[in-house]
Structure 1
């Protein structure tokens, strides 16, 4: 893996950095201004609500300062560069690999008792482990993939509606394509945008953009096949061409134009948020096999004066009970293996017509292969996503878009 380069800050930039950090972490909040407090930075919706609300009560003898921080990772990186203003604990997203070149800034959690061989899904531990074996993040949530679909629209298209039957019908990508063709003829689509379909086809094979020796794999046969498959969904009119979290996506769901899509567990709340009725949606196994992506971590800074206490706090906040609550109340799917056995997680869900959707997601998360995450992934993902967008907009053919993306990736890798 190549090292991440950090720019040198000028004196004026340092002053600005200090001001920005102080505006975020030095004013307001629990225990503000108290250097003896254990400070935790977290982003909105990144940590189970039960953990945030209950941690001070759980540790009454500690002073815990919880700060919900916007642009958290930008501020964290600036704090690490200036050597001032960093918290004791910070929540870091799937970009955790970008910190491997400065891994010494974080505590190796195994030194505090973490065991990356148990309790949480293996691939989450692996994603937070540096090439040298340093574990710099404690697992929070995961993103097991699945096929979400509407039973009423499937019935109109003459398709099976039970999760087991649909899972069998779409167990392969060829099967999913057949379903997408049938739904398109009935006036609704089974694909939103194919970026996640592309990523899932690689994830379920355990392939990332690079291997452990740093060799680039994103221009190989598997990646090209996944790209061509995804691009054909677009060119053949089988996708609504709307990205999750967009207004167009919500409109497509609300207007019954999008009746199925491949996506991670954390996108489930988007369906109800779009106004789609309760009881008609179900969840099937992901086409092609188990695959997961994303999720965040809690990391302890080496500069912390409270490392042992910080680990005790993090371990409690991320226990199975809090992670289960994080799914039920906040839509954060757990990484804790014990949470997958919790009756609250495996209970029938009224919105999904009484289906035990959590149990299906748990099986996918636990069975997903480990995919190597590297600091250069964002470059590759951005180029591929842009290429598929060009195909969706009719600006380029799949062949020319693929070629342009690979040239862009090569240039960016060359320039570091």
Structure 2
């Protein structure tokens, strides 16, 4: 079976399955049928997940255009994706502008007819963004499915007060020097655990994305023909082994990422450090609360530069106001929009002028002990080399790899059985 045929068959099966299972539409928007009316809408709906930093920007857009913007936020990607798929499958409920994260973008490329070609509506923006990021926003048929938002340049967020209690350095340069490698990171964790008796990091899965995406240009769960290679990928094995090493060191809190316990752990000091792509800063701040302002800081990630996450803004053909929706997407991702979003919640710009903007470069994050986050993250952007993500990357990672690692971390499975479960579930989750 050819790759294109396999993709078409998978798209049809996936969307039909979700449609059959769906009993409600996504969030109650009344968009049905689509087609640009050419009229100025009273309201546009934007769907995002996590902390995109758009709250102030949409208010500004409302003032400039007179169009009301409804911003619908979902905390977790694994809750966000089914809503989008369901709205596309049922033909109703989709927002006018939808955030498409890199882990799910390729899945939606399987049926590009669900998405407006933005190029005729926003013009040629190819010179405005990191070139590889812009190109990844295109569907196989060449249409521009999404305009770039952010990339997830890596760092480590850590609690200075907890480090101080463990007699560890608190200065970010000194902390970065503690762990040039992941092995040194684990050594630091053991020192912390010995001094405090507490967990150093949240979970053994905290390093999975960082390590995978540090394998420059690598294929992860799928090769470039979208064939499942989870059981043979060197990048996946490197990430797996690092997660196992964290668990074996006994320095994890054994908390499931994105769970209520994980959210509360930031505020309660359950762990002292976690992997932090740029977009995670807003989540850390939101979960930790104002009482922990100034207690967090940002250090370098072990092992060098990598990119965890990043998104695009797309307009579904279901929207009745495609032209106006495209204008809004362009506004949110232009130079000023990306700088403002970064300052608000941390998403790292991909707009080239935004990356050169003095207010971005000089920006310091008060919540994170005045860390020069613009400089720290901005300097690593040019070192990012994208990895290849298959159309079911997110499903394999969240529903196969991470559950197997958690089962090992909590003692439910030994190493061999955990790997066996992962590869078996990966084949299921990644099937076309």
Moved more, 381-390 or 156-165: 156-165
Are 1:140 and 2:149 matched, yes or no?
yes
Q: Secondary structure at the match of 2:29?
A: helix
Aligned mate of 1:248, from 251, 261, 264: 261
Q: Which residue of 2 aligns with 1:219?
A: 231
Residues 120, 335 of structure 1: 8 Å contact kept: yes
RMSD over aligned CA atoms reads: 3.5
Aligned mate of 2:304, from 266, 285, 289: 289
Q: Which residue of 1 aligns with 2:423?
A: 406
Q: Which residue of 2 aligns with 1:375?
A: 391
Change beyond 3 A, Cα 1:377–1:398? same
Q: Which residue of 2 aligns with 1:396?
A: 413
Q: Which residue of 2 aligns with 1:196?
A: 206
Offset of 1:394 from its aligned partner? Answer: 0.3
Are 1:92 and 2:100 matched, yes or no?
yes
Are 1:42 and 2:54 matched, yes or no?
no
Query: 2:257 & 2:422 partners in 1: Cα distance?
Result: 22
Query: 2:19 & 2:369 partners in 1: Cα distance?
Result: 59
Offset of 1:391 from its aligned partner? Answer: 0.9
Q: What do the CA deviations read for 1:80-120 (whole angstroms, capped 9, x no partner)?
A: 44555655433333422221121122233334455564333
Offset of 1:287 from its aligned partner? Answer: 1.0
Offset of 1:162 from its aligned partner? Answer: 2.6
Aligned mate of 2:57, from 51, 66, 76: 51
Offset of 1:339 from its aligned partner? Answer: 2.6
Query: 1:159 & 1:23 partners in 2: Cα distance?
Result: 51
Q: What do the CA deviations read for 1:177-206 (whole angstroms, capped 9, x no partner)?
A: 221222121124332112230121110113
Query: 2:92 & 2:304 partners in 1: Cα distance?
Result: 46
Q: What do the CA deviations read for 1:316-368 (whole angstroms, capped 9, x no partner)?
A: 22222222222223444433333334444332333222221232122334432
Q: Secondary structure at the match of 1:166?
A: helix
Query: 1:75 & 1:124 partners in 2: Cα distance?
Result: 25
Q: Which residue of 1 aligns with 2:247?
A: 234
Q: Which residue of 2 aligns with 1:30?
A: none
Residues 153, 278 of structure 2: 8 Å contact kept: yes
Offset of 1:48 from its aligned partner? Answer: 1.1
Moved more, 300-309 or 146-155: 300-309
Query: 1:76 & 1:377 partners in 2: Cα distance?
Result: 16
Q: What do the CA deviations read for 1:234-278 (whole angstroms, capped 9, x no partner)?
A: 132111112344443355444544222222233334544335633
Aligned mate of 1:349, from 365, 378, 382: 365
Aligned ranges 1:275-314 → 2 under 5 Å = 275=289, 277-302=292-317, 307-314=322-329
Aligned mate of 1:68, from 54, 67, 72: 72
Residues 39, 321 of structure 2: 8 Å contact kept: no
Residues 150, 349 of structure 2: 8 Å contact kept: yes
TM-score (norm 1): 0.83
Q: What do the CA deviations read for 1:14-42 (whole angstroms, capped 9, x no partner)?
A: 9x76xx46942369xxxxx9965274432
Change beyond 3 A, Cα 1:118–1:160? farther
Are 1:268 and 2:277 matched, yes or no?
no
Residues 53, 344 of structure 2: 8 Å contact kept: no
Change beyond 3 A, Cα 1:190–1:362? farther
The runs of 5 or more residues in structure 1 that have no matched partner are 28-32
Residues 189, 260 of structure 1: 8 Å contact kept: no
Change beyond 3 A, Cα 1:301–1:257? closer
Change beyond 3 A, Cα 1:384–1:107? same
Q: What do the CA deviations read for 1:112-140 (whole angstroms, capped 9, x no partner)?
A: 45556433334533442334443311122
Change beyond 3 A, Cα 1:324–1:396? same
Query: 2:261 & 2:88 partners in 1: Cα distance?
Result: 39
- How many correspondences in the alignment? 405
Query: 1:110 & 1:270 partners in 2: Cα distance?
Result: 32
Residues 228, 398 of structure 1: 8 Å contact kept: no
Change beyond 3 A, Cα 1:236–1:325? same
TM-score (norm 2): 0.80
